[in-house]
Structure 1
Amino acid sequence: MDFDLSKLGTADSVILLLVGLGVFLLGFKFLGDSIEKLSASKLRALFNKAAGNRFAGVGVGALATAIVQSSSVTTVMVVGFVNAGVMTLTQAVSVVMGANIGTTITGWLVWLEKFHIMTYAMLLTIIGLVMTMVSKNNKVNTAGNLIASLGLVFVGLEIMSGSMAGFAETDGVRAAFESVTNPILLLLIGVGVTAVVQSSSAVTSVLIVMAGEGLVIGGQGNGILFVLMGTNIGTCITAIISSVGANTNAKRACLYHLMFNVLGTVIIMPFMVGFPGFFNDVLMNWFHDTQTCITFFHTAFNVICTAIYLPFIKYLVKLTEIIIPDRKKRRAGKQSEGFMDKRLLLTPSLALGQLVKQTTYTAGIAIKCLNNAVAGFIAKDDSKLDEMSSDVQKVNELSGEITDYLLEISSKDISLSEERLVNVLHRDNSDIVRIADIAENIVGYTHKAIDETLVFSEVVKHDLTNLMKLLNEQYELVVDIVENNNIVKIKQSDELEQAVDDSKKRLLDEHIARMARGECNAENNSLFVSLISNLERVGDHLSMMAHSVEEVV
């Protein structure tokens, strides 16, 4: 099915072009969202592999961009990871290079439009809509959205293609497109339009569709290739905007993205200028149609640039460090401790992955508070308890930030499994705050023991030390379970929690026996019972965190 719109006037063609572009971008947005939902866990695992080596980073960048259908989104996420301190600058730049390759998948998708598959596209849209309406299964619904979105992409392309027919029949429009032949001006057109639209994929798609209707900007030579190179530079604007307020390394990652695209153009462009017949004499001789030539060049350009610069990552990173030097050294103890970068909210599945790490990090502070509180109680030393209280305050502050971040994620279009994870993290967050509260309770017991000169035997101190060993061991297991969904270790956690319960019972029984023998006075009783009961509750909270993972696996 084709649109015969050659009789349309210029104004009507412009309106139809905008409608087609709107349908295309809408379909592309839904397509990326659907793919992300279906591959959320794989996407998180993918970014974890970026820590391997530079080649792995390039592969991760390419695959992630193919999944989210936007190199800008991938780059912004990388800025978020670097800003959160979970990805090094060297890892980030290889992912950024891969993103440039991954974004060319859009061009090949648009290239399929040359086969005029409008009928099949409409059929895909209908099939996808039917799937979403008749199925109650979440994955089937998401798959239906994906199929319908893919159909919308092609419908939008066909509408744009039809609108171009009106332009193609207008001599003035054709002449205007072909009259711009200056390579620098063509490059700047690509930069400017992409910077405004903030999507190199959208600009490249329009260029391919235009070429299919015989409208080639810059005439029949290399002109269109200069515009394509400009789109690579223009897409950097999104990441640059996202780096405002980010840390030094995140800014360097953005600078590298810009340098990579500019330097790639600087290397390739002189060849294009010196060999004006490259498009017609080489590419057209290989592929015989303009759309395929444009799509191939877009991919080849990014692959070649990556191959050229990949061996020199280390030196280019050093160059970014010279251009953007470190700020004043941070004071000791002021290292970044946040995983919740707002930029990651563009991809909720990745934001949730980072939030899991933030949760276990905060739990670590709470357990540290608990260890310091018990150590202070055993030693009857309150000299470090004020510092511990500030750590408890830090837990409360981070807990509030976690809650706010979870609410922001909840407002996004997330899958059912992600909704369950959000609920689990809310409860885990509450358990962590309770552990910090227990540490504060123990601080109060320490002050009371010091003020009232209460004395506890060496046996009691030894028993408390052993109980804390059990709780620390349980905590380490819980971190593994929560961060890695390692449900096979839940049984071990349960065994440790039971050991804590048994220890509480034994310690209380032995304490009562000591009181009966006159080895402990009555004043100690209430304080000791409260202390042991509080520590047993820590085991309960850790156990609940471990079992919460069963809801999301």
Structure 2
Amino acid sequence: MVNTIFFIALGIAIFLLGLLFLTSSLKIISKHKVKTLIEKYTGNIYLSIFIGFILAIMMQSSSMITIVAVSMADAGLLNLYSAAGIIMGANIGTTIAVQLYAFDLYSAVPYLIFLGSILRFQKQKTFKFIGNILLGFGIIFAGLKIIDIAVSPLRNFSAIKNFVTMTENPFYGIATGIVMALIMQSSTFCIAMLQVLANVKIMPVYNAIYIVYGLNIGTCSEALLISIATNKEGKKIAIFNVLFNLIGTIVFLPLTHYYYKFLKFITPGNVSLQISNSHMFFNIASTLLVLPIMKYLFYFIEIMFENGSK
């Protein structure tokens, strides 16, 4: 058991190191430039969604983009309407990276790390950039493989079986996702862990879907906490982020059985892809659900703050 815990911890550490390499190379734009982009392209809601999507891919963090939006609102540079599209696009953008983790690329790890290491130490910025990305992905997949091997024996522990069975209950599944997001503050890492657990037949995809709902809600926590120290507009943006994910969860919850069947139908035999797709389609569908009712949602948030100030 001690060896299992050690190697799981080692795999997690290696995964996070790879994620650090990847995100440091993808963060090719500064926070100042992010603010400039948000200011410039938030007039049109659909363009705002696209900008949020691109920024999330580049920064690998929807939480960071939401925090930037909240801080800009506090400075009087952004309002709720302008930020809404950015937030929805960012939620979709963070689902892209985990799609790659669903494929068996472990055999490519030595080549990714070797080539990435060489390119990383080149003087030319383009080579450095490509090297960091290759090295990041190589280290991430190495970490996932270590976790994959280490967690296999856990299938035999009754406590693990009981916990997994418990997550079949929507309440416990969603609560698990929220707690995971609060602890790790990274939906990317949490989804990758669910993929590993599904691959070794510990976590059923059906249970993982409930956890994915919780992850989306839990990742709102950082922006929500920061908004406490901001003005009303900053708080409204943070509340919108929570409501956006809550609406998606409320709509999807009674349809989970059919959603699971849909995921199995489009990606049969690949449990990792089913989990990453559950995350991606959830955020896309949530955006499509919220778009037609945005003005009512804004009105509801305004009423919340009017009543709260009385």
- TM-score, normalisation: structure 2: 0.90
Q: What is the Cα deviation at residue 138 of structure 1?
A: 3.7
Choose the corresponding residue for 2:47, options 38, 51, 56. 56
Quote the residue 1:312 is aligned against: 293
Q: Output the CA distance in 2 between the equivalents of 1:187 and 1:23.
A: 27
Choose the corresponding residue for 1:29, options 20, 33, 41. 20
Q: Output the CA distance in 2 between the equivalents of 1:27 and 1:68.
A: 14
Q: Partner letter of residue 15 of structure 2?
A: F
Q: Partner letter of residue 174 of structure 1?
A: K
Q: Partner letter of residue 156 of structure 1?
A: G
Instruction: Please tell me whether the aligned partners of residues 52 and 86 of structure 2 are also in contact (alpha carbons under 8 angstroms).
Output: yes
Q: Output the CA distance in 2 between the equivalents of 1:149 and 1:282.
A: 32
Q: Whose RCO is larger (CA < 8 A, sep 6+)?
A: 2
Q: Deviations over 1:377-415 (max 9, x none)?
A: xxxxxxxxxxxxxxxxxxxxxxxxxxxxxxxxxxxxxxx
**1:203 equivalenced with 2:190 (yes/no):** yes
Q: Output the CA distance in 2 between the equivalents of 1:50 and 1:311.
A: 21
- Residues 176 and 314 of structure 1: is their aligned pair in 2 closer, same or farther, counting only changes over 3 Å? closer
Instruction: Please tell me whether the aligned partners of residues 54 and 94 of structure 1 are also in contact (alpha carbons under 8 angstroms).
Output: yes
Q: Output the CA distance in 1 between the equivalents of 2:4 and 2:229.
A: 42
- Residues 185 and 150 of structure 1: is their aligned pair in 2 closer, same or farther, counting only changes over 3 Å? same
- Residues 187 and 41 of structure 1: is their aligned pair in 2 closer, same or farther, counting only changes over 3 Å? closer
**1:80 equivalenced with 2:67 (yes/no):** no
Q: Output the CA distance in 2 between the equivalents of 1:176 and 1:246.
A: 39
- Residues 247 and 59 of structure 1: is their aligned pair in 2 closer, same or farther, counting only changes over 3 Å? same
Q: Deviations over 1:71-116 (max 9, x none)?
A: 111111111222222222101011111111111113202212xx1x
Q: Deviations over 1:269-326 (max 9, x none)?
A: 1222xx4x652x4432332232121111211111111001112222212221221239
**1:297 equivalenced with 2:278 (yes/no):** yes
Quote the residue 2:110 is aligned against: 122
Q: What is the Cα deviation at residue 176 of structure 1?
A: 3.7
Q: What is the Cα deviation at residue 327 of structure 1?
A: 9.8
Q: Output the CA distance in 1 between the equivalents of 2:37 and 2:274.
A: 31
Q: Partner letter of residue 286 of structure 2?
A: C
Instruction: Please tell me whether the aligned partners of residues 79 and 254 of structure 1 are also in contact (alpha carbons under 8 angstroms).
Output: yes
Q: Secondary structure at the match of 1:136?
A: coil
- TM-score, normalisation: structure 1: 0.52
Q: Partner letter of residue 84 of structure 1?
A: A
Quote the residue 2:179 is aligned against: 192
Quote the residue 1:94 is aligned against: 85
Q: Output the CA distance in 2 between the equivalents of 1:137 and 1:285.
A: 46
Q: Output the CA distance in 1 between the equivalents of 2:147 and 2:227.
A: 34
Instruction: Please tell me whether the aligned partners of residues 52 and 87 of structure 2 are also in contact (alpha carbons under 8 angstroms).
Output: yes
Quote the residue 2:251 is aligned against: 267
Q: Output the CA distance in 2 between the equivalents of 1:107 and 1:255.
A: 26
Q: Output the CA distance in 1 between the equivalents of 2:265 and 2:292.
A: 32
Q: Partner letter of residue 138 of structure 2?
A: G
- Aligned residue pair count: 308
Q: Secondary structure at the match of 1:190?
A: helix
- Residues 326 and 63 of structure 1: is their aligned pair in 2 closer, same or farther, counting only changes over 3 Å? farther
Instruction: Please tell me whether the aligned partners of residues 20 and 156 of structure 1 are also in contact (alpha carbons under 8 angstroms).
Output: yes
Instruction: Please tell me whether the aligned partners of residues 70 and 234 of structure 2 are also in contact (alpha carbons under 8 angstroms).
Output: yes
Q: What is the Cα deviation at residue 44 of structure 1?
A: 6.0
* Aligned counterparts, 1:163-182, within 5 A: 163-170=150-157, 173-182=160-169
- Residues 162 and 18 of structure 1: is their aligned pair in 2 closer, same or farther, counting only changes over 3 Å? same
Q: Secondary structure at the match of 1:324?
A: helix
* Aligned counterparts, 1:356-435, within 5 A: none
Q: What is the Cα deviation at residue 42 of structure 1?
A: 7.6
- Residues 180 and 132 of structure 1: is their aligned pair in 2 closer, same or farther, counting only changes over 3 Å? closer
Moved over 6 A (4+): 38-42
Q: What is the Cα deviation at residue 179 of structure 1?
A: 4.3
Q: Secondary structure at the match of 1:51?
A: coil
Q: Deviations over 1:153-176 (max 9, x none)?
A: 211111221222222354653354
> RMSD across aligned C-alpha pairs, in angstroms?
2.4
Q: Partner letter of residue 200 of structure 2?
A: E
* Aligned counterparts, 1:319-358, within 5 A: 319-325=300-306
Q: Output the CA distance in 2 between the equivalents of 1:295 and 1:244.
A: 32
- Residues 283 and 186 of structure 1: is their aligned pair in 2 closer, same or farther, counting only changes over 3 Å? same
Q: Output the CA distance in 1 between the equivalents of 2:74 and 2:31.
A: 22
Instruction: Please tell me whether the aligned partners of residues 61 and 98 of structure 1 are also in contact (alpha carbons under 8 angstroms).
Output: yes
Quote the residue 1:421 is aligned against: none
Q: Deviations over 1:212-242 (max 9, x none)?
A: 11111xx56x322111101000001111122
- Residues 46 and 162 of structure 1: is their aligned pair in 2 closer, same or farther, counting only changes over 3 Å? farther
- Residues 72 and 131 of structure 1: is their aligned pair in 2 closer, same or farther, counting only changes over 3 Å? same
- Residues 264 and 180 of structure 1: is their aligned pair in 2 closer, same or farther, counting only changes over 3 Å? closer
Q: Secondary structure at the match of 1:325?
A: helix
Quote the residue 1:285 is aligned against: 265
Q: Partner letter of residue 160 of structure 2?
A: V
Q: Output the CA distance in 2 between the equivalents of 1:47 and 1:256.
A: 17
Moved more, 71-80 or 40-49: 40-49
Unpaired segments ≥5 residues, structure 1: 1-9, 329-553
- Residues 322 and 176 of structure 1: is their aligned pair in 2 closer, same or farther, counting only changes over 3 Å? closer
- Residues 307 and 128 of structure 1: is their aligned pair in 2 closer, same or farther, counting only changes over 3 Å? same
Q: Secondary structure at the match of 2:28?
A: helix
Q: Output the CA distance in 1 between the equivalents of 2:85 and 2:56.
A: 13
Choose the corresponding residue for 2:130, options 124, 133, 143. 143
Instruction: Please tell me whether the aligned partners of residues 50 and 95 of structure 1 are also in contact (alpha carbons under 8 angstroms).
Output: no
Instruction: Please tell me whether the aligned partners of residues 39 and 77 of structure 2 are also in contact (alpha carbons under 8 angstroms).
Output: no
Q: What is the Cα deviation at residue 200 of structure 1?
A: 1.6
Q: Secondary structure at the match of 2:306?
A: coil
Q: Deviations over 1:46-82 (max 9, x none)?
A: 4244323111111111111111111111111111222
Q: Secondary structure at the match of 1:215?
A: coil
Q: Output the CA distance in 2 between the equivalents of 1:61 and 1:234.
A: 19
- Residues 38 and 77 of structure 1: is their aligned pair in 2 closer, same or farther, counting only changes over 3 Å? closer
Unpaired segments ≥5 residues, structure 2: none
